Amino acid sequence: MAQVVLENVYKSFPPRKGESVALPTQLTSTSDKSEEATTPKSADSVNVLRRINLTVADGEFMVLVGPSGCGKSTLLRLIAGLEVMTGGNIWVGDRLINNLPPKERDIAMVFQNYALYPHMTVYDNIAFGLRRRSGGGGENLSFAENLLVGVTRNLPKGLRYISEKERAVHEQVRYVAQLLQIEALLNRLPKQLSGGQRQRVALGRAIARNPQVFLMDEPLSNLDAKLRAETRAQIVKLQRQLGTTTIYVTHDQTEAMTMGDRIAILNQGQLQQVDRPLELYNRPANLFVAEFIGSPPMNFIPVEFHAPLLITNGDFRFTLPDFWGSALQKYDGRKLILGIRPEHLTLSVPATKNLPVQVELAENLGNDSFLATKLVGTSFQQAGTFKNSLQVRVPPERFISVGEQIWLSFAPEKIHFFDPETELAIFPKSSIPSLPLTK
């Protein structure tokens, strides 16, 4: 087992013929011009990963999450050696692996499409990597051993000659099959397996090699919802049992929140924030993270701040708690973006400190009810790309019909603020203390 360290990793691809190069305009934070000057780039290339600095601790379960096209799978392939880096360093333990071929990196990868050999049984699929590494397939056996294997190959199983290396392979395959509860499937071909069974075989092939690092590229995306939840729990349990450093790629923020010790959020080829799941949820670093983490996503409302503690928008007026005072003083008379999660909005009474909305859609799920609403009142002003719409989570016993007008209040201690220019979060000085990292 070993930690994985990514140092200033870049990856560029040449554009296709006739394709224009459009660099992302939104960055996670203010960038140093001197640092930008060191970016490996050229006029005819597209940077898909930029300044990736990330340390995955020994035995940690790190999840890479982000929208499609953000570069998370490319980053995984760089670690595996399936892509060539444009710049930077990758360390596994104390080894710099930049120039090592994939087979020498001691890394096992689980692919989205399983990548099983269709003509091999489950047993042989799991054993394949072990045989190639140990020579158990026959290429490193002595002449006498090869002769015995050939002569006894067609005899009944109990009379066949099995080399010591093949016995070791057999023991490891049996151990992995027992671990994944697929002993009964060892003689089947992949086409005779369900999607969940194939995924377990793919996991078994990776586990059997006992590598320093597991890489998993959206391994659950082909499974149905129920099986995905079951397999998700099984992967977490196995990782904790084995203690192997794991980097897991997904676009599903529910998977990320439930599986990872820490989560690294990517957008447009850059890391947005790396932290524990609840820290990301409670203290998002910027507007993108706040919207991406959470389902339904966070609501955003444009407001204007007036010192010492008043925010307004049209007829809406709300006095903030005292702990916001010092953090917002420099924004006096300026616009801000207020963020509030659906579960922190509650049904209330008409008042200037509350928000009048009309229900446009009601989704009753039994344990929860979600409302899609629209702010009403001609005095409420929009700003930029922010629409006058809010999503609300309400108790399931409270029936609300489409078209009904209601008033919403929000929990003052759950408010978030973002700078409309940088899109970075603004944190009050009185903040929630960080908790120690535990597994």
For every one of its 439 residues, what pLDDT tens digit does the chain have, with 9 covering 90 and above?
689 999 999 999 877 665 554 444 444 444 444 444 455 555 567 889 999 999 999 999 999 999 988 999 999 999 999 999 999 999 999 999 999 999 899 999 988 888 889 999 999 899 888 877 654 444 455 566 666 766 665 667 667 667 777 788 889 999 999 888 899 999 999 999 988 888 889 989 988 888 999 999 998 887 888 888 888 888 899 899 889 999 999 988 889 999 999 999 999 999 999 999 999 999 999 999 999 998 889 999 999 999 999 999 888 999 999 999 899 999 999 999 999 999 999 999 999 999 999 999 998 888 888 999 998 875 666 655 667 789 999 888 888 889 999 999 999 999 999 999 999 999 987 554 444 444 4
Q: What's the pLDDT score for residue 37?
A: 46
φ and ψ of 172, to 5 deg: -70, -40
Which token pair is 381? 């002003």
Which residues does 260 contact at the CB level (< 8 Å), separation at least 6? 61, 62, 63, 248, 277
Rounded Cα distance, 357 and 360, in Å: 9
Q: What's the pLDDT score for residue 437?
A: 44
Angle at 211 between CA 188 and CA 95, to 5 degrees: 155
Which token pair is 82? 């399936």
Which token pair is 375? 């702010």
Q: What's the pLDDT score for residue 191?
A: 92
Rounded Cα distance, 76 and 217, in Å: 7
Which residues does 80 contact at the CB level (< 8 Å), separation at least 6? 102, 105, 107, 109, 215
φ and ψ of 126, to 5 deg: -70, -35
Q: What's the pLDDT score for residue 383?
A: 59
The full 3-state SS of the chain, as one line of letters, equals: CCCEEEEEEEEEECCCCCCCCCCCCCCCCCCCHHHHCCCCCCCCCEEEEEEEEEEECCCCEEEEECCCCCCHHHHHHHHHCCCCCCEEEEEECCEECCCCCHHHCCEEEECCCCCCCCCCCHHHHHHHHHHHHHCCCCCCCCHHHHHHHHHHCCCCHHHCCCCHHHHHHHHHHHHHHHHHCCHHHCCCCHHHCCHHHHHHHHHHHHHHCCCCEEEEECCCCCCCHHHHHHHHHHHHHHHHHHCCEEEEEECCHHHHHHHCCEEEEEECCEEEEEECHHHHHHCCCEHHHHHHCCCCCCEEEEEEEECCCEEEECCEEEECCHHHHHHHHHHCCCEEEEEECHHHEEEECCCCCCEEEEEEEEEECCCCEEEEEEECCCCCCCECCECCEEEEEECCCCCCCCCCEEEEEECHHHCEEECCCCCEEECCCCCCCCCCCCC
Rounded Cα distance, 146 and 140, in Å: 9
Q: What's the pLDDT score for residue 2?
A: 87
Q: Which fold has domain 290-426?
A: OB fold (Dihydrolipoamide Acetyltransferase, E2P) (2.40.50)
Rounded Cα distance, 391 and 368, in Å: 13
β-strands 107-110, 61-65: how paired? unpaired
Q: Which amino acid is at 50?
A: R
Q: What's the pLDDT score for residue 6?
A: 96
Rounded Cα distance, 297 and 30, in Å: 25
Rounded Cα distance, 279 and 436, in Å: 11
Q: What's the pLDDT score for residue 429?
A: 75
